Structures are given as structure tokens and as C-alpha cells.
Amino acid sequence: MAADFLDCGVGSHLVNQFGESNDIGLGLVRFSDRLVDTLSLPPAWRNTVKPALHISAIRTRFVKVPMKFPLGTSAARVTAAPLLLVDLETKEGVIGRSYLFCYRDSGARAIAEILAEANGLIAGMEAAPAKIADFLGRRYALLGVTGVARMALAAIDIALWDAQAVAAEMPLATFLGGTLDPIPAYNSDGLGLMPAKDAAEEAVRLLEPGFHAVKLRLGHADARVDREVAAAVRGAMGSDAALMVDYNQALTVPEAIQRGRALDGLNVYWLEEQIRHGDLQGYAAIAAALDTPVQLGENLDGPEAVFDVVATRAADYLMLDPARIGGVTGWMRGAAIAAARGVPVSSHLFPEISIHLLAATPTAHWLEYTSWADAILEAPLEIVDGRIAPPNRPGLGLQWSESGIARCGLG
Ligand SMILES: [Mg+2]
């Protein structure tokens, strides 16, 4: 496609024999695509400024993907992942993609409704993620940018960033300033609340794809069962594998301290979300009382919430959820706040998206891996020796498997 503008900065202004204008800026000469092709000039001489993208439509599809390892936590039991797939089309033909894990079917339906409405609000606008985030944040301020509204806006933001990186022909990781270096990952499939023997067997199966770390859910009614299950998993995995523990907000502050100390000697890597997620004073008390690091953050609602955690020293580690923190825009702002205090940042869910965000996170720590989206993707993430690298494809690298969607699709 012939570029019809060549505004590349300070310098002399040239008009070539085709009547096209060119600028010489700071010693760099850039020519139109047509001139480069006609004269067989090196590709590096091509004008690199691309036209802006403009939003034309947002399309959603709802799928329920059976989980290889059903997940029973202290909060709920999930056997199929309700995923909402999002395609954001631009007038220029570039498509940005994202997906959401919606927790419940009703969540997927509600988010699809909000996306349909938001589509009407932003159609025709420039696909500029930060500007769209501000615009939609204002439009949904009275409803409240939280819960399903937050997730819907995050899905748009992620798809916009994907579209921009696709247009730039760069992986999102490098588009954001990161590299494609692999990042440590733990297997978060399965290991829900289950008897010790079953948990030990499942932990071994979860290491098989090449992981050296898993996450175990605890929060059994009897504290002794928590200790027994954790000990069985540690015994089955051996001493080298990392063991993360997640209570899914099941405990009180005294219980969290007591149960945390009871796991001393099992070399637990972190203790996650022991109490109600918003009780930062409670977390600060727990973190001060325990030697094992405290992890929280999957429920942080927008990047501002990261500031509250680091200011109160409520946790040793932070994990950000792309859908709750505000998409790519919210993640980068939240990651900057965490980096200012040197707090390690891990990811929550959406490994295909999170891997790019961690790549550009100054204090990147661990990627949470789940295989939930594998069934609807042409090229799932690859695990190599406990690590995962951002795929070397434009944007997020999400390519829907239409046959997989047909098997799981609900329309
Ligand atoms: Mg968790």
C-alpha cells in the first residue's frame, strides 16, 4: 500500500519525480513504499510511519472449555472454563484479540452485553488504548468500573494493544519494551481441595509437562488436613520443586498466622490470599508474623489499588490479573508502582496475555500457567524446562482454533 504521507520530522523537504513528498530528518531519508518498490531500494529505506487504526466493531464468542484438571477451591468448584473470546476489528483491517475467564456463565453474558454497548460508544474512534481507557472509564464511572464492567473494559484494552502490536509487526512483549526471554512458570491447573493421596498424585502429573513448580489450594475445614495435604505434595514432588499455596480467602487473621506457621519446614514458596482480599491491615499483620512470603493481588481493582498494597506493606509479593487491573494499560501502571518499591510481580491467569506483560515488568517474578485456553488456540504456549517465553508472533500471538471453538462453542 502506498504511503500517502511522509512526515518524519526535522529536515529538508523533497518532492520526487512521482510528485511524492519526502522529508530528510536528522540524516534519515525515508521514501514512500511505491518509490522503494519502483527503484528496488533496501527495505530499511521504506517509510515506517503507518496510518492510525480506527475501531470498527467488537465481536464476542462464548465457549466453555472442559478442564483437564477440575478445580475445587475453598470458594467454588469449576470443571469447565467459561471463556469469552473477543475480536476487535479496525477499519484498516487489523484485528486485535483478547479473551476473558468469566468465572460463571452469567459473567460471560453480562460482559458480552457491556462489550456490545461499549462498541457503540467507541466505533470510529482511533484505536489508542490509553485514550479509550480514559474515555470508557468516564462513561462507566457511575455504573462503577469494577467487576464485570472492569473486565469488559480490560478486554477492549488488551485487544487494542494487540491490534497496535500486530500493526507494528512486533510481539506485544517487545512492543511494550520487553524481550522474548523465558520466564519461570508454575502449573496452576488442578490441585484443588482434595485428599492428601490424590493431591500427591496430581502434583506429580502437573510437573510432567516440564514444570518445576505447582500451586496447591488449601483451606480445608480442619487445619490438620491442610498440613497433611501440603506434606504429601511436598513429599511427592521432592525438595527441589517450588510449592505455592493458595487459601482463596478462606481464613481469619489468627488462622492464617497459625496455619502458615504449621507449614514451616515444608519450604512453601508463598502463602496466597489467606483472608478477605480487601483487608490490607490484616495482610500486613500476617506478613509481619510469618517468615514465608505473603502473596496477594489477583483481586486488585485497577492500578491505583497496587499503591495501597505497597504503601501498607500488606504483602511481600504481588500478582496482577490482566482483567481486574485494567488490561495492558492498567498492568503497566500497576507494575510501575510495584517496581518503585521493588515488589516482585507475578501474574494471575491468562498466561497467553500475562507472559507478554511480565516480559515488560521490571520486577517480573512468576507466570501462573493454566491450560484452560489450549483447546481454542491454534498455538498454545510451550513449556521448556519450567519456563515459558512470549511467542515470536505479532501482537499477543492469539490465533483462534475454529475447530476447537466449534467443539466448545455456545454461540
Ligand atoms: Mg489465587
Q: How many CB atoms lie within 10 A of CB 325?
A: 32
The DSSP secondary-structure symbol of 108 reads H
The DSSP secondary-structure symbol of 377 reads B
Q: What is the DSSP string of 250-277?
A: ---HHHHHHHHHHTTTS-EEEEE--S-T
Return the C-alpha cell found at 376.
481454542
For a pLDDT cut of 70, what percent of the chain falls above it?
91
Q: Is the pLDDT of residue 227 over 90?
A: yes
By the CB criterion, residues less than 5 angstroms from ion ligand 1 are 246
Least confident of 3-17, 231-245, 389-403: 3-17
95-101 and 294-296 strand pairing: unpaired
The H or E element containing residue 78 is strand 77-90
d(CA 268, CA 293) in angstroms, rounded, equals 9
Q: Is the pLDDT of residue 51 over 80?
A: yes
Residue 11 Cα, ligand 1 centroid: separation in angstroms?
Answer: 54
Residue 349 Cα, ligand 1 centroid: separation in angstroms?
Answer: 9
Residue 365 Cα, ligand 1 centroid: separation in angstroms?
Answer: 15
Residue 17 pLDDT grade (very low, low, confident, very high; cuts 50, 70, 90) = low
Q: How many CB atoms lie within 10 A of CB 219?
A: 22
Residue 182 Cα, ligand 1 centroid: separation in angstroms?
Answer: 23
Q: How many CB atoms lie within 10 A of CB 234?
A: 20
The DSSP secondary-structure symbol of 252 reads -
The better pLDDT of the pair 43, 117 is held by 117
Residue 100 Cα, ligand 1 centroid: separation in angstroms?
Answer: 16
pLDDT of residue 411: 53
What is the average per-residue pLDDT within 361-384?
97
Q: How many CB atoms lie within 10 A of CB 255?
A: 17
54-169 placed in CATH 3.40.50.720: no
Residue 322 Cα, ligand 1 centroid: separation in angstroms?
Answer: 14
Determine the Cα angle at 342 with ends 337 and 347, to 5°: 70
For a pLDDT cut of 90, what percent of the chain falls above it?
83
Residue 75 Cα, ligand 1 centroid: separation in angstroms?
Answer: 11
What is the average per-residue pLDDT within 388-408?
97
The DSSP secondary-structure symbol of 55 reads E
Q: Is the pLDDT of residue 271 over 80?
A: yes
Residue 9 pLDDT grade (very low, low, confident, very high; cuts 50, 70, 90) = very low
319-330 pLDDT, tens per residue? Answer: 999 999 999 999
Residue 199 Cα, ligand 1 centroid: separation in angstroms?
Answer: 17
d(CA 162, CA 177) in angstroms, rounded, equals 14
Sign of torsion, CA 364 173 325 298?
negative
The DSSP secondary-structure symbol of 168 reads T
Least confident of 7-21, 50-64, 192-206, 386-400: 7-21
Identify the residue whose cell numbers are 495501597: 308
CATH 3.30.390.10 occupies which residues in the chain? 54-169
Q: Which has the closest alpha carbon to 174: 389, 387, 359?
A: 359
pLDDT of residue 18: 52
Residue 316 Cα, ligand 1 centroid: separation in angstroms?
Answer: 15
| E strands present in 91-210 | 95-101, 183-187
Residue 118 Cα, ligand 1 centroid: separation in angstroms?
Answer: 29
Mean per-residue pLDDT over the chain, rounded: 92
Identify the residue whose cell numbers are 517465553: 389
Burial (Cβ within 10 Å: 0-12, 13-18, ≥19) of residue 132: buried
Residue 101 Cα, ligand 1 centroid: separation in angstroms?
Answer: 14
26-38 pLDDT, tens per residue? Answer: 445 566 677 777 8
Residue 385 Cα, ligand 1 centroid: separation in angstroms?
Answer: 24
Reported pTM: 0.89
Residue 317 Cα, ligand 1 centroid: separation in angstroms?
Answer: 12
Q: Is the pLDDT of residue 365 over 60?
A: yes
Residue 248 pLDDT grade (very low, low, confident, very high; cuts 50, 70, 90) = very high
pLDDT of residue 120: 98
Q: Is the pLDDT of residue 2 over 60?
A: no
CATH 3.20.20.120 occupies which residues in the chain? 173-401
Domain 173-401 belongs to what topology?
TIM Barrel (3.20.20)
Return the C-alpha cell found at 42.
533496501
Residue 350 Cα, ligand 1 centroid: separation in angstroms?
Answer: 13
pLDDT of residue 71: 82
Residue 391 Cα, ligand 1 centroid: separation in angstroms?
Answer: 25
pLDDT of residue 3: 40
Residue 4 pLDDT grade (very low, low, confident, very high; cuts 50, 70, 90) = very low
The better pLDDT of the pair 9, 72 is held by 72
Residue 214 Cα, ligand 1 centroid: separation in angstroms?
Answer: 12
Identify the residue whose cell numbers are 523533497: 14
Residue 131 Cα, ligand 1 centroid: separation in angstroms?
Answer: 31
57-74 pLDDT, tens per residue? Answer: 999 999 999 999 988 777
Residues contacting 269, CB < 8 A, separation 6+: 213, 242, 243, 244, 292, 293
Return the C-alpha cell found at 352.
497467553
Residue 329 Cα, ligand 1 centroid: separation in angstroms?
Answer: 22
